C-alpha cells in the first residue's frame, strides 16, 4: 500500500434529532411490520436457472424449453428495466425514511423482494433465449447511467404513491401472466403470477401505512392522497428510453390503458383507503 495515498479511518459519528412524527409513526409502522408484514424470502434462482418459491418450496424448472414471442420478451425486458432502478429506489427511499423505524424496515423488505423480481425476469429472458447472461449485466449497468428521482419529498406522499404504484404494477404483471398463458408458456406464467401476488401484498401493506398516517392527521393525509392521485404517473413513463413504443406494447397486451389507470388503479386504490369521500373519489377519476 502507498502510505502517502492511504485514507485514514473515519471514526466520527453524527447525531440527528428524531421528529415526534417519526417517533409516533415509526412505532406504529414497526408494529404493523413485525406483526403482519414481515415474511421470509420469496424466491431463489440457482445457477441452473431453477426458480424455487421460498414460501412453498415449489420448484419451477424446464424454463429453457419454453418459447415466448419477441414482442412479449421486449415487454418483460421493459419491466425488468424498471425493477433494475432499485439502487435509486432503495438509496433515496432509505434516506427519506431513515428516522422512521417501521418504514425503514418495510422499505428494506420491499427492496429485497423487488430485487428478486428483477432476477426472476432476467432468468426468464435468458432461459427462453432472448438475452444472454452477458447482455443482462450490460443492460443493468447501462441502467446505472441514468437515475430515478423520488416524485415527492415527504415520506407520507411516497407511501401514498407506493400504494397506487404497487397496484398498477400488480395489474401489469397479471396481464403479463395472461399473455404467457396465451403463448403456451405456463412456467413463465407461474413466475409472473407469483410476482403479481407480491405486488398485491405491497399494495396492501402501503395501504395500511397510509391509514396510520390518516389516524395521525386526517386532513393532511386526505389532501396528500388526492394530490398524488390527481398527478399520478407510473415510473416507467419517465424511465423507459422508448416510452411511446413501450406504452404501445403495454396496450397491445392489455397491461395499460386510460381506463385501467382510472378504474382499476386510481379508483380501486382510493376505495381501499376507506377514508376518501365518495364525491372526492368520483371527482379524482
Report, as ranges of residue numbers, the positions in the chain whose pLDDT lies below 70. Answer: 1-4, 47, 54-55
- Residues 188-225: pLDDT tens digits? 999 999 999 999 999 999 999 999 999 999 999 999 99
Instruction: List domains and CATH numbers for the chain.
Output: 20-284 (1.10.620.20)
Instruction: Give me the DSSP letters along 3-40.
Output: GGGPPPP----------HHHHHHHHHHHHHIIIII---
**pLDDT value of position 53:** 73
pLDDT of residue 6: 84
State pLDDT tens for residues 227-257.
999 999 998 888 888 888 888 999 999 998 8
Helix (H), strand (E) at residue 279: helix 278-284
3-state secondary structure of 43: strand
Please give the grid coordinates belonging to residue 12. 466520527
Q: What is the pTM of this model?
A: 0.94
The pLDDT assigned to 242 comes to: 86
Q: How far apart are CA 118 and CA 141, in angstroms?
A: 14
Amino acid at each position: 500500500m502507498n502510505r502517502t495515498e492511504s485514507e485514514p479511518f473515519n471514526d466520527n459519528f453524527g447525531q440527528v434529532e428524531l421528529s415526534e412524527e417519526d417517533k409516533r409513526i415509526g412505532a406504529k409502522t414497526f408494529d404493523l411490520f413485525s406483526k403482519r408484514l414481515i415474511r421470509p424470502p420469496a424466491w431463489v434462482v440457482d445457477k441452473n436457472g431453477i426458480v424455487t418459491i421460498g414460501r412453498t418450496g415449489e420448484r419451477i424448472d424446464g424454463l429453457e424449453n419454453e418459447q415466448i414471442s419477441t414482442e412479449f420478451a421486449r415487454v418483460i425486458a421493459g419491466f425488468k428495466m424498471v425493477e433494475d432502478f432499485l439502487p435509486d429506489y432503495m438509496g433515496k427511499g432509505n434516506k427519506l425514511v431513515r428516522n422512521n423505524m417501521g418504514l425503514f424496515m418495510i422499505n428494506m423488505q420491499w427492496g429485497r423482494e423487488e430485487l428478486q423480481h428483477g432476477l426472476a425476469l432476467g432468468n426468464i429472458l435468458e432461459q427462453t433465449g432472448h438475452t444472454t447472461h452477458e447482455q443482462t449485466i450490460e443492460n443493468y449497468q447501462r441502467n446505472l447511467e441514468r437515475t430515478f428521482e423520488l416524485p415527492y419529498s415527504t415520506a407520507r406522499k411516497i407511501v401514498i404513491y407506493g400504494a397506487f404504484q404497487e397496484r398498477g404494477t400488480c395489474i401489469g404483471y397479471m396481464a403479463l401472466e395472461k399473455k404467457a398463458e396465451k403463448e403456451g408458456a405456463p412456467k413463465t406464467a407461474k413466475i409472473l403470477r407469483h410476482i403479481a401476488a407480491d405486488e398485491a401484498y405491497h399494495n396492501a401493506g402501503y395501504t395500511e401505512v397510509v391509514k396510520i398516517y390518516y389516524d395521525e392527521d386526517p386532513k393532511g393525509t386526505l389532501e396528500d392522497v388526492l394530490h398524488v392521485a390527481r398527478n399520478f404517473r407510473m415510473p416507467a413513463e419517465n424511465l423507459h428510453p422508448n416510452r411511446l413504443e413501450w406504452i404501445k406494447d403495454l396496450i397491445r397486451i392489455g397491461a395499460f390503458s386510460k381506463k385501467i389507470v382510472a378504474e382499476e388503479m386510481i379508483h380501486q386504490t382510493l376505495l381501499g383507503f376507506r377514508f376518501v369521500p365518495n364525491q372526492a373519489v368520483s371527482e379524482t377519476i
